[in-house]
Amino acid sequence: MAADELKTKYDIKEIELQSLLEITQAINNNLSEDALYKIYNFTIRGNLNISKLALYVKDARWNCKTHFGTKKDFSNIEFDKKYLEYTEVQMLNCPPDDPYGEFEAVIPVAHKDRKLAYVFVGGKKSRTEQVNTNFVQALSNIIIVAIENKKLARRQIEQEMIRRELEIASNLQQFLFPKELPYNENLKCAAFYQPHHSIGGDYYDFIRINESQFLFCIADVSGKGIPAAMLMSNFQASLRTMTRQTTLLQEIIKELNFQIMRNAMGQHFITFFIALYDKNRKRLKYVNSGHNPPILIDKKGKFHLLDKGSTILGAFDELPFLDVGIMEKLDSFFFFSFTDGLIEITNDENEEFGADRVNELIKKYYRHDLKELIQIVIREMNEFKGDKPYKDDVTLFCAQVDNSKGVEVL
């Protein structure tokens, strides 16, 4: 072997070693992914026996991260998945019309049997030395694995941030619901809440106005996750503020609609039912704003669906109509409400639980103790859906009022 040829081989090995050191130093300096790809491009372009290159990396899809020396712009050429079959360096002999015909070899880059990248390379025609595919593979593996570790670290940070946000939102949501509900001889209330995920967008409440009046409500916000939970939190705060100022349901509903429009900007809406009971007047006033009609059964056993009110809140700047339902001479009654997560539960035949099934259940069991009734409804819906998951949050709220003897409802 001639001295000049040995000298060339020696120089190339020295350059390769220096390239490895530079890449390692760049990784240790915690440079960005884009910076690492640029250094990779510069290192191979300037130091190795390569005239053209295209590096495809697997993210959500295969993308060409860097290329040089090619006649075509490979950033706009979709990766040919036939190369996924290659697990070792493969010399290419592509037809002239194949975009990859410019290259001499394809070099797979893998880590723990997972394919991370493919490097397409072509050698310098002025040299007799062939492309050192082993070195290109080693260099590519170092930089691609380093970038994968960065992605993993970033995903872990993002997941931790999401977990913390969900934890905060979940804790915040617990403040939406009353800490305890009255359960005595004259007034019993019971509720059940099953979020679809760790946080949900349902809400129920019981608010004592004064010695003779109390208010109860149930609501469901469109959408899921943190935005829905935050909107419902603002909604609850607005409602409780309003009830300290007025008991006129028309004013409360109009103000709540305004607040939702201002906070959600038309991106979310809320279905809402609110009722105010006055034990002295034995009168119930209510407004149903696009919510599933709650059920009321009076002391004579007559079945009522409470459907008077308005449209959903947050869909219009001004509500197109607003009616207040009024029920007089109501000294004793049973009340049951729910969100649409209950009636939208499906079984294996994709049949919905439905409002009719709920109505029949309530007619059959409304005389039971309320807590027992809640458990009956839960059992029925779980038996109906079987192993199928919940499609939405499920909330139940019911009340039993007995004011027939004139005893103060506490």
Mean pLDDT of 160-176: 66
In DSSP terms, which residues pair with 101 in a beta bridge?
A: none
Higher pLDDT, 7 or 307: 307
Quick one: 109 and 240 in the same domain? Answer: no
Closest CA to 55 of 70, 46, 47, 86: 70
Work out how many domains the chain is built from and give that number: 2
Q: What is the mean pLDDT of the chain?
A: 85
Quick one: 122 and 66 in the same domain? Answer: yes
From edge to edge, which strands make up the β-sheet containing 295-298? 187-194, 394-402, 332-338, 295-298, 303-305
Distance CA 263, CA 220 (A): 16
User: 3-class SS at 173?
Assistant: helix
Weakest-pLDDT range from 212-221, 231-240, 334-343: 231-240
Q: Which pLDDT tens digit goes with each residue over 10-39?
A: 455 555 555 555 666 655 556 678 888 887
Residue 183 main-chain phi, psi, to 5 deg? -150, 80
Quick one: 119 and 200 in the same domain? Answer: no
User: Angle at CA 176, nearest 5°, toward 313 and 199?
Assistant: 85
Q: So what's the pLDDT on residue 113?
A: 77
8 Å CB contact between 214 and 186: no
User: 3-class SS at 54?
Assistant: strand
Distance CA 135, CA 80 (A): 24
Mean pLDDT of 119-124: 85
User: Angle at CA 341, nearest 5°, toward 335 and 346?
Assistant: 120
Question: Given 116, 139, 163, which residue is the final one in a domain?
Answer: 163
Quick one: 213 and 320 in the same domain? Answer: yes
Quick one: 64 and 201 in the same domain? Answer: no
Q: Is residue 410 part of a domain?
A: no
Quick one: 256 and 389 in the same domain? Answer: yes
In DSSP terms, which residues pair with 191 in a beta bridge?
A: 397
- 356 exposed, middle or buried (CB, 10 Å; 0-12, 13-18, 19+)? exposed
Q: CATH number, domain at 21?
A: 3.30.450.40
Quick one: 53 and 26 in the same domain? Answer: yes
Binning the chain into helix, strand and coil, the percentages to the nearest 5 are: 40, 25, 35
Higher pLDDT, 145 or 203: 203
Q: What is the residue range of 95's domain?
A: 3-163
8 Å CB contact between 362 and 336: yes
Q: How far is CA 335 from the centre of its chain?
A: 33
8 Å CB contact between 221 and 228: yes
